[in-house]
């Protein structure tokens, strides 16, 4: 791989990110690679990725990767995610492994996982009023506390039913180990190309999680809601919904390109994170 410019996105709330970013910048300088860094203190911070960037390195946790994935969406820039804490589901690379993963990628360029991203659009009275991308999921919930919401669901314009639930999650395979999993959804391999639809505590017990491929998911906010509704993308972007709004969620044309760890794979990560040891856990 021909890499001449690296852009580092570091979690500004973690002092370790400051120290590691300095070491990485020093390494890049020694190897005649241009490097720059930005420190984020909020998921709402807006950053501009230099157009000549060949690789983004994130220093933080899964949240920092979600943030970076949206920032480089449609730019085709790979992301090397370095975890500053315990290993995350997305950030497989430990803080002492970044150089190993970087040099392998520089030499071979094959340790890449192509992750599905979502394109989320809100229409109000036939007009687009909001749009966003997401690596993990789009979620519609009540803006209040413990309030049931009512939504109509369609798949490729075919009505799939009406749902009364605490919320609705539309997740990617990457997001299958997040909120969707906690709500009873299945785990999908991160490299798959599928969309998971997971109702949150549905009023009707026959409303179960659904995995679909290639479908445009449309959710319509029904009339006479008893609460305000909120749409979130990756748990970081928020948009208030109104009765009659239509939300479409579909596969993005671009993928998130994540540099993989050379020391562990998806199965090992979920095995360790979910304690699949074959023994009882209290």
Residue-range domain boundaries for the chain: 5-111+260-273, 117-253
- Is the domain defined by 117-253 classed in CATH 2.60.200.30? yes
Same fold, 5-111+260-273 and 117-253: no
Q: What is the pLDDT of residue 281?
A: 52
DSSP assignments along 134-191, one per residue? ESSEEEEEESSSS--EEEEEEETTEEEEEEEESEEEEE-TGGGGTHHHHTTPPP--TT
| pLDDT value at residue 217 | 97
Q: What pLDDT score was predicted for residue 219?
A: 98
Q: Catalytic residue at 62?
A: yes
Longest dimension (CA), the chain: 63
Looking at residue 262, what is its pLDDT?
85
Fold held by 5-111+260-273 = Rossmann fold (3.40.50)
Candidates 64, 59, 60; CA nearest to 21 is 59
Structure tokens at 274: 């979910």
CA distance linking residue 90 with residue 101, whole number of Å: 15
Per-residue pLDDT of 212-248, as tens digits, reads 987 899 999 999 898 999 999 999 999 999 999 999 9
Q: How confident is the model at residue 141, as a pLDDT?
A: 96
**Spans of the chain, pLDDT less than 50:** none
> Of 62, 152, 234, 272, which is the active-site residue?
62
The confidence score (pLDDT) of residue 266 equals 79
């Amino acid at each position: 791989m021909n890499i001449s410019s690296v852009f580092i996105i570091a979690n500004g709330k973690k002092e370790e990110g400051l120290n590691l970013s300095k070491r990485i910048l020093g390494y890049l300088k020694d190897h005649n690679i241009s490097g720059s860094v930005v420190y984020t203190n909020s998921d709402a911070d807006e950053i501009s990725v230099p157009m000549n960037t060949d690789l983004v390195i994130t220093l933080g946790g899964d949240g920092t990767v979600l943030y970076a994935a949206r920032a480089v969406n449609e730019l085709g820039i790979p992301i090397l995610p370095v975890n500053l804490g315990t290993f995350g589901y997305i950030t497989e690379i430990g803080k002492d492994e970044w150089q190993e993963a970087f040099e392998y990628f520089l030499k071979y360029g094959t340790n890449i996982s192509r992750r599905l991203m979502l394109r989320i659009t809100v229409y109000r009275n036939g007009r687009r009023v909001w749009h966003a991308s997401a690596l993990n999921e789009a979620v519609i919930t009540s803006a209040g506390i413990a309030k049931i919401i009512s939504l109509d669901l369609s798949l490729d314009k075919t009505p799939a039913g009406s749902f009364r639930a605490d919320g609705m999650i539309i997740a990617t395979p990457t997001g299958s180990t997040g909120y969707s999993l906690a709500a009873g959804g299945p785990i999908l391999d991160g490299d798959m190309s599928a969309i998971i639809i997971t109702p949150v505590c549905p009023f009707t017990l026959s409303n179960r999680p659904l995995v679909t491929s290639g479908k445009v998911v449309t959710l319509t906010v029904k009339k006479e809601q008893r609460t305000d509704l909120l749409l979130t993308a990756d748990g970081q972007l928020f948009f208030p919904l109104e009765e009659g709004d239509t939300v479409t969620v579909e596969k993005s044309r671009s993928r998130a390109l994540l540099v993989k760890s050379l020391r562990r794979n998806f199965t090992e990560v979920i095995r360790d994170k979910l304690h699949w040891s074959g023994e009882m856990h209290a």
